[in-house]
């Protein structure tokens, strides 16, 4: 498989939700790894009101080739109506790590 590696940045309602999504995507080989960072405060506009809340960051290591599948699956598992799921390119990296990522994905 060609690997165009990507970080996938996702915000979740709780550490439990981030853990469930991350574990599922690693099990399904849509992500090579999931990093979970709890305790983020977010400010955002929703339904024309300024809101804030505590969220958890979920960072997946995946690829551009799997983007559609990752987005579909995260939306199925996520509690938000419109979850943040954005892909960021990995331009350079440890070749051994990038090879491990490739071998860990579908």
pTM of the model: 0.95
| pLDDT at residue 3 in the model | 86
Q: CA-CA distances (angstroms) from residue 61 to 10, 23, 43, 95? A: 11, 12, 25, 14
Q: What structural domains and CATH numbers belong to the chain?
A: 7-104 (3.30.70.120)
| pLDDT at residue 2 in the model | 74
Q: Is 81 helix (H, G, I), strand (E, B) or coil?
A: coil
pLDDT in tens, the chain (106 residues): 678 999 999 999 999 999 999 999 999 999 999 999 999 999 999 999 999 999 999 999 999 999 999 999 999 999 999 999 999 999 999 999 999 999 999 9
| pLDDT at residue 1 in the model | 60
Longest distance between any two alpha carbons in the chain, whole Å = 47
| pLDDT at residue 49 in the model | 97
Helices 15-27 and 67-77, packing angle to 10 deg: 140
H/E run at residue 85 = strand 85-89
């Amino acid at each position: 498989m060609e690997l165009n590696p990507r970080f996938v940045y996702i915000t979740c309602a709780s550490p439990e939700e981030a853990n469930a999504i991350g574990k599922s995507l690693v099990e399904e080989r849509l992500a090579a790894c999931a990093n979970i960072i709890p305790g983020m405060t977010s400010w955002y506009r929703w339904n024309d009101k300024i809101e804030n809340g505590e969220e958890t960051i979920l960072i997946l290591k995946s690829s551009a080739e799997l983007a559609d599948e990752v987005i579909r699956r995260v939306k199925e598992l996520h509690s938000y109506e419109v979850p943040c799921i954005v892909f960021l390119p990995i331009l350079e990296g440890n070749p051994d790590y990038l090879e491990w990522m490739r071998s860990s994905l579908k």
